[in-house]
């Protein structure tokens, strides 16, 4: 018996795809759960064909996008349209798993003979998490979606960007990255509860409902005060300067945020107390807010003389909040992220060595483990069928011939 881990004994049959489900189960795997990811060559995960791919050539096992959402899992391919494949799926759930995770359109798991109501009769300890755009019930529950439009539906786009321009989007599928952490939390809570009571349960996750948490005060502001929130660029109601300023270099930027009088004095010292900083109209936060456009232009006169890293260091050394607007390359080189071991290199059989990421917390006694790179599709068919399910050579051969393992 090796060293113990937080999610020891948790076995997840993972019928999910895209970002939310796979990331929740990846985190569970990094915490010690075993995960069998059920995929199909007939309907591969869209992320398997999402850039970036090895050498810029898309292919089933070449996408780093898919890979970093799916390390530390076993992959088996099952064409769930076929009864033989459904039977294998049921055996994985029945004989091996204690958590079922799906992100299928409501009704699909039932069609595959994997509905919770039937399964729980024999396996009352089973936890089934169904995670979809809008949940399992309600008039729109079966409407297909994905993270990009979900981000727009949940209200993030409308409040991202500039008031005089069209709405923007924080990251392409922002909602997926909010919801997966909620789902991971609920999954572990349900495991703790089951350990105590022996009872599993069905958990119906609506990504929309996860995401509304992240705008809650502004939605209450509408409900209570009738105010509709508008995007406001980088402005803050209670700080100025508060923006992202152009620096030396091509498309290089640094955020600076000044909230208190003390920070304002420190900020002025860093930029060498030019004459304009002594003007009365900039002396108070109110004055700076009233003259914010002009203020920002003046601040930028200073920042444009420095690379963003230098601007950040000078400001932070004086106790003023500042940060580089990091690009991909800056994140890869970022000293803090590297200090924490945020970038974990694993050697993928087709992609080669490339960057994966652990959960954003460090557990002192049960550190995360990224046990293996993302699986090539169906890489563990043999392992799952023989070792996990104990099938004979004959049974496996029959499955291969039938096409159920596609």
Partner 1 sequence: MAEQEDSLLGGYRVLDLADEKGLLCGKFLGDLGADVIKIEPPGGDLARNIGPFYKDIPDREKSLYWWAYNTSKRGITLNIGTADGQEIFKRLVKTADVVIESFLPGYMDSLGLGYTALSEMNPGIIMTSITPFGQTGPYRDYKAPDIVGCCLGGLAYIAGDTDRPPCRVSFPQAYLLAGNHAAGGTLAALRYRELSGEGQYVDVSMQEAVVWTLMGVIQHWDLLKYNMVRAGVWRTFFIGPRYPTRVMRFCYPCKDGYVGFLIAGGLLAAISMPAMVEWLAGEGMLGAFEPMKDWGYDEWLVRDVISMSREEVDAEEDTLIRFFATKTRAELYEQVLKRRIILYPVSTTKDVAENIQLKEREFWVEVEHPELDETMTYVGAPCKMTETPWRISRCAPLIGEHNQEIYEGELGISKEEVRLLKEARVI
Q: Rule CB under 8 A: which of 221-260 touch partner 1?
A: 221-225, 227-237, 239, 242-246, 251, 253-255, 257, 259
DSSP state of 17: -
Q: Which is nearer to partner 1, 317 or 397 (CB)?
A: 317
Count the alpha carbons within 13 Å of 118 in the hemisphere toward its beta carbon: 10
Binding-site member from 96, 177, 276, 383 for partner 1 (CB under 8 A): 177
Binding of partner 1 by 295 (CB under 8 A)? no
In whole angstroms, how far apart are CA 339 and each of 42, 336, 354? 42, 5, 18
Which residues, numbered 194-213, are part of the site for partner 1 (CB under 8 A)? 195-197, 199-206, 208-210, 212-213
Distances (CA, A) of 240 to 122, 153, 216, 272, 313: 62, 31, 25, 18, 19
Note whether 118 binds partner 1 by CB under 8 A. Answer: no
Cβ proximity to partner 1, 132 vs 381, nearer residue: 132
Residue 217 tokens, joined: 């005060």
The reply on whether position 322 binds partner 1 by CB under 8 A is yes
User: Among this protein's residues, is 176 annotated catalytic?
Assistant: yes
Kindly report the CA angle at 346 between 343 and 350, in degrees rounded to 5?
130
Among 12, 92, 100, 183, binds partner 1 (CB under 8 A): 183
The residue within the footprint of partner 1, chosen from 42, 96, 125, 153 (CB under 8 A), is: 153
- Single out the catalytic residue among 45, 164, 176, 334: 176
Select from 64-72, 96-104, 379-387, 398-406 the region that touches partner 1 (CB under 8 A).
64-72
Among 168, 291, 402, 406, binds partner 1 (CB under 8 A): 168
Q: What is the largest CA-CA distance in the chain?
A: 87
Q: How many other CB atoms are there within 10 angstroms of residue 171's CB atom?
A: 13
**118 or 137: whose CB is closer to partner 1?**
137
- Choose one: 83-91, 106-114, 287-295, 315-323; the region binding partner 1 (CB under 8 A): 315-323
Query: For strand 11-15 and strand 34-39, is the pairing parallel, antiparallel, or unpaired?
Result: parallel
CB-based contact 90:118 (threshold 8 Å)? no
CB 224, min distance to partner 1, A:
6
Token pair listed for 119: 């399964």
Closest by CA to 36, choosing from 7, 10, 62, 66, is 10
Element (DSSP H or E) covering residue 206: strand 201-206
Point out which span in 91-99, 349-357, 369-377, 390-398 binds partner 1 (CB under 8 A): 349-357
The catalytic site residues sit at: 176
């Amino acid at each position: 018996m090796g060293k113990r881990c937080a999610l020891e004994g948790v076995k997840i049959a993972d019928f999910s795809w895209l970002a939310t489900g796979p990331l929740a189960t990846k985190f569970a795997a990094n915490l010690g759960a075993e995960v069998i990811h059920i995929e199909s060559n007939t309907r591969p995960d869209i992320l398997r064909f999402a850039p970036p791919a090895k050498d810029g050539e898309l292919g089933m096992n070449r996408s780093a996008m898919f890979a970093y959402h799916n390390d530390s899992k076993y992959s088996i391919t099952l064409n769930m349209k076929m009864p033989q494949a459904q039977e294998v799926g049921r055996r994985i759930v029945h004989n091996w798993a204690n958590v079922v995770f799906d992100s299928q359109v409501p009704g699909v798991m039932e069609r595959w003979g994997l509905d919770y109501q039937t399964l729980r009769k024999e396996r009352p300890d089973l936890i089934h998490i169904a995670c979809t755009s809008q949940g399992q019930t309600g008039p729109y529950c079966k409407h297909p979606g994905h993270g990009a439009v979900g981000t727009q539906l949940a209200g993030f786009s409308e409040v991202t960007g500039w008031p005089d321009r069209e709405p923007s989007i924080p990251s392409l599928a922002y909602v997926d990255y909010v919801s997966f952490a909620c789902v991971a939390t609920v999954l572990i809570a349900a495991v703790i509860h089951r350990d105590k009571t022996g009872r599993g349960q069905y958990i119906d996750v609506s990504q929309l409902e996860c995401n509304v948490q992240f705008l809650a005060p502004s939605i209450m502001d509408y409900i209570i005060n009738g105010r509709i929130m508008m995007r406001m660029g980088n402005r803050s109601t209670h700080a100025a300067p508060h923006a992202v300023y152009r620096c030396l270099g091509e498309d290089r930027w640094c955020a600076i945020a000044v909230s208190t009088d003390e920070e304002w004095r420190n900020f002025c010292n860093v930029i060498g107390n030019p004459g304009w900083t002594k003007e009365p109209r900039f002396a108070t936060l109110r004055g700076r807010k009233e003259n914010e456009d002009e203020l920002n232009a003046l601040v930028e006169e200073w920042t444009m003389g420095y690379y963003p890293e230098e601007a950040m260091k000078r400001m932070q050394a004086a106790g003023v909040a500042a940060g580089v607007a990091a690009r991909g390359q800056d994140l890869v080189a970022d000293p803090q992220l590297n200090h924490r071991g945020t970038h974990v290199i694993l050697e993928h059989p087709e992609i080669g060595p490339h960057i994966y990421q652990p959960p954003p917390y460090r557990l002192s006694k049960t550190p995360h483990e990224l046990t293996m790179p993302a699986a090539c599709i169906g890489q563990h068919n043999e392992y799952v069928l023989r070792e996990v399910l104990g099938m004979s050579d004959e049974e496996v051969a029959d499955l291969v011939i039938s096409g159920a393992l596609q």
